[in-house]
Amino acid sequence: MSDKVLLIRPQNVYNYNNYPPLNLISIGSVLKTAGYDVRIINCAFEKEPLEIIGKELSGALFAGISLLTSEAPDAYRIMKYIRESSKVPVVVGGWHCTLFPEQMANCEYVDYVIAGEGEDYILEAAEMLKSGVKGESKIFHKRLLNPESLPLPDYDIDKGIEKFIGNYLTDKLSEYAQQPMRWLPYESSRGCPSHCTFCINVVTDNTRYRKKSAGKVISEIEYIVKKYNLTHLKIIDDNFFVDIRRVREICEGIISKGINITWDGECRCDYFREGMLDDKTLELCRKSGLIQLTLGIESGSPHALQLMKKGITTEQAEFAVKKCSEYKIIARSSFILEIPGETLADIKQTISFINRLRKYPYFTCGVGTFRPYPKCELTEKLRKDGYLKEPSNFDEWTDRNTIDMYTSAEYIRPWQVNGKYSESAAYYLNMESSVRLGSHQIDRVIDRIKNNIFMFLARVRNRFMFYKFPMDKNLYKKFLTGFYRRRGDMEKSGSYPLSGLDRAGKKA
């Protein structure tokens, strides 16, 4: 029986491809360490992905497909193609499969479903298929693993990894960081102990914090930075700063080993206190290369924060942004409008709060309307109240309108009483933050002037919270489309359905 394994990343409906498939790289590293021949196919970068998949199917032990909800249509097409053109078993996993394992198991094109963290089950599935023994169940149910047991991620398994290394991250990073940036994502821990009512971690039992040791993290960072000649590392942990002693050890290790790199990570606002992210620790982090923190502020309304069970106050949020600016750390802050149960007054409180935070020079924000991630507390309430009808099978999840309902940040949903206002507010707040395009990214003088005019108009609208008659918004979309098409970047020439925080730009 062959040792060749195909790992496939489907294309998402939004054509968003800024990040490498770290989940497949991690799973592939486990398989490769065990002696398997692993091939990753990233459909976003293939002109004829089915043709590539067809060629690689010959002699494959199985095809593994990891999918998000926004990747459902392409995943369905791929699974159907594999089933109709070969006898290669299809094993699926990822967030969507973890949320709906039974639906995926009932799909006629699926042989096995891995619900949960794939590294723990992938070897079990591979050995089972290699032996020819049929599994007792189609579903490998979720269990949490210890990240310390995982091998060093072998990014080279993805043959297109260099395309990601040279890609820009957020606009503020491209404004402040040393250019050109060479970066990769890195995971040092899993889980977040918070219980926010909109978060996927609570639904998937991922609230137990699990970590790699500081020594392992330092060793892996040193190797990755040298091997790929990186200038920046994006730590993608759900919450990097849970164990502050470990954070200090990692920072000290980076400094003592002379690892010349900048880095960023995610952090809670209430960690900015004595014994956690105090002045001494912030100074150490900054010295080790920290240049950006992603803060989940989410709202400027105490009422909305209670609905989300954020466990923070607006005072803590402002203090966190203030401390970031003191240490010249970008405060990359996320906000959500239209949380079920909040009023227009709550929404305006959030806009006013964002306007107030603009006085801090290192503040930037990404704003979107609430996306009802399946199974989370707020989404379940909407479903029970009759606002949402959850698809009953995987085929129904391939409908574009259904996907937008659950995943698009620009979709106006039935329960959103102030949907049009919130969607426009989010657009203009992001525009003022240079989320879509910053003047520092533009070479042509005429384009820079045009962009500055649009940003000025956005600033005026945000100060007065006036979002009617959005002619300038429509003109700006046309301007962006033309700008990115001239540059040859078709991915950003269309709409921006994802959170502004995930958007990036290249200097043109």
The CATH number assigned to the domain holding 98 equals: 3.40.50.2300
CA neighbor of 484 nearest in space, from 499, 475, 474, 494: 494
Whether residues 126 and 242 share a domain: the answer is no
Q: Which of 119, 148, 177 is the last residue of a domain?
A: 148
Measured between alpha carbons, how far is 28 from 16 in angstroms, rounded to an integer?
Answer: 22
- Count: domains in the chain: 2
Per DSSP, the residues of 408-472 read -SSPPPTT-TTHHHHHHHHHHHHHHTTSS--GGG--SHHHHHHHHHHHHHHHHHHHHT--SS-HH
Whether residues 193 and 329 share a domain: the answer is yes
Per DSSP, the residues of 139-183 read EE------GGGSPPP-GGGSTTHHHHHTS---HHHHHHS-SS--E
Measured between alpha carbons, how far is 94 from 233 in angstroms, rounded to an integer?
Answer: 24
Could you tell me if 396 and 406 are in contact, meaning their C-beta atoms sit under 8 angstroms apart?
A: no
Enumerate residues 6+ apart whose C-beta is below 8 A from 460.
none
Q: Can you name the residues that pair with 4 across neighbouring β-strands?
A: 37, 60
Whether residues 323 and 438 share a domain: the answer is yes
pLDDT tens per residue across all 508 residues of the chain: 679 999 999 999 998 888 999 999 999 999 999 999 999 999 988 989 999 999 999 999 999 999 999 999 999 999 999 999 999 999 999 999 999 999 999 999 999 999 999 998 899 999 999 998 887 789 988 678 999 999 999 999 999 999 999 876 655 666 666 567 899 999 999 999 999 999 989 988 889 999 999 999 999 999 999 999 999 999 999 999 999 999 999 999 999 999 999 999 999 999 999 999 999 999 999 999 999 999 999 999 999 999 999 999 999 999 999 999 999 999 999 999 999 999 999 999 999 999 999 999 999 999 999 999 999 999 999 999 999 999 999 999 999 999 999 998 778 999 999 999 999 999 999 999 988 888 878 889 999 999 999 999 999 999 999 999 999 999 999 999 999 888 776 455 443 332 333 322 222 3
Place of tokens 């010349």: 260
Q: What pLDDT sits at residue 99?
A: 95
Whether residues 140 and 192 share a domain: the answer is no
CATH number assigned to the domain comprising residue 433: 3.80.30.20
Per DSSP, the residues of 411-422 read PPPTT-TTHHHH
Enumerate residues 6+ apart whose C-beta is below 8 A from 48.
none
Q: What pLDDT sits at residue 410?
A: 79
Q: Which domain holds residue 257?
A: 166-371+409-502
Quick check: pTM over 0.85? yes
Residue 507 lies in a domain: no
Q: What pLDDT sits at residue 495?
A: 38
Q: What pLDDT sits at residue 176?
A: 61
Q: Long-range CB contacts (< 8 A, 24+ apart) of 215-221?
A: 215/249, 215/253, 216/148, 217/188, 217/246, 217/250, 217/253, 218/249, 218/250, 218/253, 218/254, 218/257, 220/152, 220/153, 220/186, 221/186, 221/250, 221/254, 221/259, 221/261
Cα 112 to chain centroid distance, Å, stands at 26
Whether residues 491 and 426 share a domain: the answer is yes
Whether residues 325 and 444 share a domain: the answer is yes
Residue 508 lies in a domain: no
Could you tell me if 423 and 369 are in contact, meaning their C-beta atoms sit under 8 angstroms apart?
A: yes
Residue 155 lies in a domain: no
CA neighbor of 139 nearest in space, from 104, 107, 183: 104
Whether residues 140 and 264 share a domain: the answer is no
Whether residues 141 and 172 share a domain: the answer is no
Residue 306 lies in a domain: yes
Enumerate residues 6+ apart whose C-beta is below 8 A from 337.
347, 350, 367, 368, 369, 370, 422, 425, 426
Whether residues 188 and 112 share a domain: the answer is no
Helix, strand or coil for residue 265?
Answer: strand
Q: Which of 98, 120, 148 is the last residue of a domain?
A: 148
Whether residues 274 and 180 share a domain: the answer is yes
Residue 456 lies in a domain: yes
Whether residues 226 and 342 share a domain: the answer is yes
**Distance linking the first and last C-alpha atoms of the chain:** 50
Rounded CA Rg of the chain: 23
Q: What pLDDT sits at residue 492?
A: 54
Q: What pLDDT sits at residue 143?
A: 74
Cis check: omega of the bond before 372, within 30 degrees of 0: no
Whether residues 123 and 202 share a domain: the answer is no
Q: What pLDDT sits at residue 2?
A: 78
Could you tell me if 108 and 393 are in contact, meaning their C-beta atoms sit under 8 angstroms apart?
A: no
